[in-house]
Structure 1
């Protein structure tokens, strides 16, 4: 795998969008070529070399076009926005914080952030994997501006906490939060699966049409438009937790959870075909 290492020289004075720096975009290109790539620092035009030290990770003759590539961002900052936006292959490793719109509209590949990320992580993503070792802001896995559907495929794993409206308008895919989540988790959800292992805020599942929300702790508030089906053994949870534990070492403990849960059906005001499963055993 070929690639480059971008080391941030100092924290930018303004936000910088990096949607053009994707693994497929840098494949087969030299460090000198990438260093001249134009960027926008606020309203001012700059180049990659103005903000980063650029190093190659592979010999030029090995980095052939079409080969999957890797981008490593060192000393990353929350001022770096849209990291990995639209990417379809390869890998991005972020050491430090990431700004808003991480992985927006990504179609494939793998992004790993060894820190926290801003708002709208995985917004409108259609495939691939995003792992964030810290916290994320609001609207993770949500819809892009003007879109009627949010996350449509792929996996988003957050090891810390998530903000408000996580999974808003989610259509498909898997969203796992090891910590807690804010208000309106899974709001207007249309499909997919959300797993939250910590506390959640108010109005979980408000307006959801379909999909499954799995909670390790009972929410502080459930909308009145949900009704309980009682305590049930949802055997598919064994398969779900086994697969998550097999795919991610950090989730291996999920295999200790049993299938017994309280099933809440709703939102009845939006068709009532969604479900919230509150785990009752571990």
Structure 2
């Protein structure tokens, strides 16, 4: 990946991350095309969420190169300026929503528009309401997060992530904290965003059927490595590595069709 492919939105080379001397990410390299939806699957502790958090420097990598859009960061030589530019390329949807409890639903969506992107209150409100309409929460605009279900809070988080027009949206297990009854509505919103916004997305998920239906590519991680990647049907129905087969069987995924 030394020569940038203009069709790639993300290029990662030899990414590494250690925690207290323990390697969590081990020489990770992969590419994501512009407009591509990539699902990352794998057992707990495999490094999936750490990888996502390294891409926008919520965790600082110990080595490797990250390029998102036109911004490239050599993690050994990263500066505050280059990291800030890298972060502007992405937005993130968190497991636990991370909404501002003291702000209304609408204010949660418009805050970054006003503070970081210079929108007027009127313009930010107009865009925020349109996005809340898109995720089915226009009627909750003046409510506070505490009054919403988990599924509704996560939909607000998705609207907030889309609002800033990022080049890449990162989803860190967006349904893992939800009661089962709210999972489907959140997955549907993500599917709609993927279809309508043509956004580049990386989604860490345990929802195998969702990965198969929505993703253009599936990446299987284990023990800090990318073990296998490819089209969803190839990885989920005809995996080539024994570790992938074991994981899918434990998750009751039918292999071979």
Structure number with greater Rg is 1
> What interval of TM-score do these two structures reach, taking the shorter chain for normalisation?
0.3 to 0.5
More strand by share: 1
More helix by share: 2
Relative contact order, CA 8 A, sep 6+: which one is greater? 2
Q: TM-score, normalised to structure 2's length?
A: 0.33
